[in-house]
Amino acid sequence: MLLRKDKFSENIATLSLIAALASLTRYQGIAIIIAGTAIIFTNTKKIKLALKFLFLSSIPISIWGIRNYNLSETIFGHRISPGNEFTNNLNDTFDVISSWISTSPFISVFVIVLLSIGLISAFLNNNHRKDLTISLVTLLFSLIAVMIYSSTQYQIDPIENRFLAPTFPIFVILSLISIERLILLTHFRENLVCIFISLIWIASNVFIITSHVTDWNSRGAFGFNHKIWTSSPLIDEILKLPLNATIFSNAPEAIYYLSKRKSKSTPTKSGYEPYLNSLNNSKNNFLVWFPLMKRDYLIGIPSLRAGLKTEEISNHGVLGQIYIISPKSDEPSSFAPKI
């Protein structure tokens, strides 16, 4: 209803508020501001209305950017760069989107081609779905472009994790529009086949999602308040570490949440020298490693163990391990992990 072109003028304040809140929730929401401006101008041909949306929706994120610059002299806060390679991010994006369709790449490509045909047909057919299709496609590609750019420029959550999650609802709506159009393009019998295939696809994805959710829940991946974490003996052992200990971890927020102990992050692939300086300035150094926390921008545990003196003092499998760590020598350059 809000995206109807005859309603843009009266809904401009609401649309601006939604875009503004999205940009404050995650920086990727800036793509919604960009796409929204393009959608309004394309549908109404009124540049003043598009600029009004751009101005109103940009006010909160602009104020936040000024606040960031005053604190850190950067608009978006400190970010470690560079990130992953562009081609890797592009491949990861395709892998994530295809995984929403099927575990088979061939089936995924086939379905994507069919969905594209349906969307092109919806675009060419001048009906009530055309404006919605154009708007959603613009928004989808704007979000994906911003995410790929962000992941290429900075070391943030990899795309193959949850980074593309905001685009999933848009993908589902576009898929339904495409399926509707494909059904209208075919005859009765083909309609039944298309409906049957769609039901099989939906049922298979429900099964896959249910299996993943069950698996994640069994491994406590729904948050550190899960009983598998709160009842873990690993927490008791963290609490027993010396009060003057320096604790390093690949998930320092987990250390604080579970034990209220302060800790430092393990080094990134481009910043391990400050990490070694911290080790040299402290004698009680401990490393708490959570295998379930997949953060590709951090140096992995094999490289850390290869570059440091490590003694494992606790092992709780997938829940985590605790090590006593120290430099192999007084020279920071002795640590050169294979990354």
Question: Which pLDDT belongs to residue 279?
Answer: 65
Q: Which of 304, 337, 298 is nearest to 323 (CA)?
A: 304
d(CA 224, CA 264): 18
Beta bridge mates, 144: none
Below-50 pLDDT ranges, the chain: 1-2, 330-339
107 and 115 in contact (C-beta within 8 Å)? no
Question: Which pLDDT belongs to residue 275?
Answer: 62
Classify residue 77 as left (phi > 0), alpha (psi -120 to 50) or beta: left
Question: Which pLDDT belongs to residue 33?
Answer: 85
Q: What are phi and psi of 292, to 5 degrees?
A: -75, -15
Classify residue 110 as left (phi > 0), alpha (psi -120 to 50) or beta: alpha
Question: Which pLDDT belongs to residue 336?
Answer: 39
d(CA 180, CA 73): 50
Coil, strand or helix at 298: strand
Could you tell me the two tokens for 181?
């159009």
Q: Is 206 exposed, middle or buried (0-12, 13-18, 19+ CB in 10 A)?
A: exposed
**What residues contact residue 137 under an 8 Å CB cut-off, 6+ apart?**
119, 174
Segment holding 322, helix H or strand E? strand 321-327
Q: Is 138 exposed, middle or buried (0-12, 13-18, 19+ CB in 10 A)?
A: middle
Coil, strand or helix at 285: strand
**Number of helices and strands in the chain (H, E):** 13, 5
291 and 320 in contact (C-beta within 8 Å)? yes
Structural domain boundaries in the chain: 5-218, 227-334
Question: Which pLDDT belongs to residue 32?
Answer: 82
**What residues contact residue 238 under an 8 Å CB cut-off, 6+ apart?**
247, 255, 258, 259, 261, 288, 322
Could you tell me the two tokens for 211?
């299996």
Give the Cα-Cα-Cα angle 297, 81, 308 (nearest 5 degrees).
45
Question: Which pLDDT belongs to residue 288?
Answer: 92
Q: Count Cβ neighbours within 10 Å for each residue of 300-315 and write b for 16 or more, e otherwise.
A: bbebbbebbebeeebe
Q: Is 317 exposed, middle or buried (0-12, 13-18, 19+ CB in 10 A)?
A: exposed
